[in-house]
Amino acid sequence: MRSKRPLYLLIITALLAAYYLFLGIYLNKLGYYNQESLFYIEKTKILFDGLGNRLKIMGLTSPMLPFFGTFIFSFKNSLLAPVFASAIGTAMLFYVMASTLTKRSHDDFYLLLILVVFVFHPGMLYTACSGKSIYMVLIFFYLFFFHIIRYYKSNTTFHVSIASICLVILVFCDYKFIWLTLFFIPLVLFIAIQSLNLGEKETIFRLFKSFNSPALRRKLINKTFAIYIIIFILPLSTVLIFKMLNLTHANDLDYFIDSPYATWTVLADRMSFEQATSFSHYQSSQISPLVTASIALFCPMIVVAIYLFRHNTYETLTIMAPFAFVEFLQIKYDKIFLSYEYFLIFLVLSLLCLILRGHSHDKQMHMKTILSILVLFQLYTGYTFLKKSFISEERDFATVLFNPAPVDKQAGNREMADYINTLPSNGRILIDDAIAYPVISFTDHVQRLTLPYQETYLSASEAPEHYVSYILIATDTNPMTSYTQLNYRYVPAIKHSDNNLNLQKVYETDDWILYKVF
């Protein structure tokens, strides 16, 4: 039986992937989309069918790895590719976790516990079925912490360097994780102090001793520095290289985080904050230090995780580091709400701790009872947090998941795209995909579009009659209208500069107007 565990695990993973796919495709058919997946769909379409130099799209679209993760599922159906990626990716996360567990414990309770979380936790369903890149963040977040904790025990370069590589990938899944490095700085010093051969046990005295002896001081500094380098040089240098690529190809070091053409987060974050702050109620749980409290409420299992490692100072501090990280994000990005992803990392972290230590706890009965209760509680908090999220697409997911009825958030975009699809094949359309990427993601013929990545775009926007037959304009009711040049102010301006230009409105939705150019 036990020899067949890997096979059973594979079967469970496959079933889980099928379950996620079924759910994801169903939600997709009901009309659930989010900004991130639409952005990836649009970029994928450009890469497959677009004209002109697509190198910048391929190389600088950010976050890079989730984009490629979606890209590889795009050969059949680009609209469903993000869902395929997230469903299979989340199932892989389950497999990685479960296989780590089965190598350590033969107790199926813990496997069942993980399975329950993956099948029923709204957060995991959101990860798997939304088409967002959270799955990739969670996989590499898990692997990073797994290898860091393993390093403390094994002291091998293998684990620390794999952790570093995972951190690189994590940063390229979500750039904000670069700040996680900050919170390992004191931790590394602590590890270095602990690893010195000193008679003294108390950390503060060890520190005192090692700083007052030249030989020990040199040793301490060398070791601390070496660990910093080995963990952080890869993420920092890869970010530097990526910035360099941005500079050479887009003349801007921060193009990948600042440009709406490179990343979906720029506008999505602004929009969600603007919309949310217009609410009348006070957003109390997003005010530090209550974030830590909300995390503990969202995932009380993290307290058990800390309890399990209470005698291991490194591990405890490591588990605490993400708390500091999230608090920091809250301060650093004060105009952005913390997305659900940053709560889910604690769920994954607590599962990791359970995988590593849960089965070796003395009082298994107590442990299992507490964990069962906590998991059930977390299913509820998971739902509540999703339902009451400040980010609309998270709330939408909860709504469509628990009240399966068609949603029409993208109806306007889809309607406009459907109309564009019916236009004659020789009619070129000028579109600014900074905000119109949802429309493009629903269109069938990207090669008919003139987009900002193409060399002709600027000329076309200056003299449309020579280059295009249609222009897509954002209406003044479009919430993102101020982030594009092609908005309601463009039409009078271009008419003013070119008296011979005739524009005729041919199709209109709430957010878009399509003009025909004469």
Partner 1 sequence: MRTSVPDLSVNKSPEFNPKGLSIPELLVSDGFITRAERGRIEKFANKSDLSFIKVALSFGHISRKNYYRSIANAGYEVQPIRELAFDKDVLSKIELEFADSHLALPLRIENNKVVTVMADPTDRLFVDFIRMTYNMEPEIIVADDLDIVWFSHKLIGEKYVKSAVFELLNRDPDSSALTTFTAPQLVLLFLLLGLIAAGLVLNFKAVTIILNVAMSVFFLVAIVFKLFLSLVGSRFELHQAVTKDDVRDLIEADLPVYTILLPVYKEDKLIKKLIWNLQSLDYPREKLDVKLLIEEDDEKTLNAVRNLDFPATFEVIIVPFHMPQTKPKACNYGLLFARGEYLTIYDAEDIPDTDQLKKVVSLFNKLPENYICVQSALNYFNRNENFLTRMFTLEYSYWFDYMLPGLDTLDIPIPLGGTSNHFKMANLIELGAWDPFNVTEDADLGVRAYAKGYKVAIVNSTTYEEANNEPINWIRQRSRWIKGYMQTYLVHMRNPAKLVKKIGWKGFLGFNFFVGATPITFLIYPVLLFVFLSYVVFNIAAIKSLFPDWVLFISIFNLMVGNILMIYVNMMAVFKRRFYELILFAIANPIYWLMHSAAAYMGLYQLIVNPFYWEKTNHGLSKINNPTNVIK
Sites of contact with partner 1 (CB under 8 A): 53, 55, 59, 154-158, 160-162, 164, 219, 222-223, 225-226, 229-230, 233-234, 237-238, 241, 244-245, 248-249
Phi, psi (degrees; rounded to nearest 5) at 433: -80, 5
Shortest CB 224 distance to partner 1, Å: 9
Amino acid at 112: L
162/460 with CB nearer partner 1? 162
**Closest distance to partner 1 from the beta carbon of 144 (Å):** 15
Considering the complex, what minimum distance in angstroms separates the CB of residue 503 from partner 1? 34
C-alpha 174/C-alpha 63 separation (Å) is 6
Helix/strand/coil (H/E/C) assignment for every residue in 122-168: HHHHHHHHCCCCHHHHHHHHHHHHHHHHHHHHHCCHHHHHHHHHHHH
Please identify, using beta-carbon distances, which residue of 412 and 452 lies nearer to partner 1.
452
Q: Are 332 and 182 in contact (CB under 8 A)?
A: no
Q: Which is nearer to partner 1, 55 or 493 (CB)?
A: 55
**3-state DSSP of 358-371:** HHHCCCHHHHHHHH
Residues in contact with 471: Cβ distance below 8 Å, sequence separation at least 6, in sequence order: 429, 430, 431, 464, 486, 490, 503, 514, 515, 517
Output 33 or 232, the one with its CB closest to partner 1. Answer: 232
Q: Considering beta carbons, is residue 168 or 514 the nearer one to partner 1?
A: 168
Complex with partner 1: residue 105 or 161, whichever CB lies closer? 161
Give the span between the Cα atoms of 486 and 481, in whole angstroms: 8
Least separation, in Å, of the C-beta of 148 and partner 1? 15
Question: Going by C-beta distance under 8 Å and a sequence separation of 6 or more, which residues neighbour residue 435?
Answer: 260, 267, 474, 478, 480, 481, 483, 484
Rounded Cα–Cα distance for residues 149 and 170 (Å): 17
- Give me the least distance between CB of 160 and partner 1, in Å please: 7
Cβ nearer to partner 1, comparing 224 with 381: 224
Least Cβ distance, residue 157 to partner 1 (angstroms): 4
Q: How far is the CB of 193 from partner 1 (least distance, A)?
A: 14
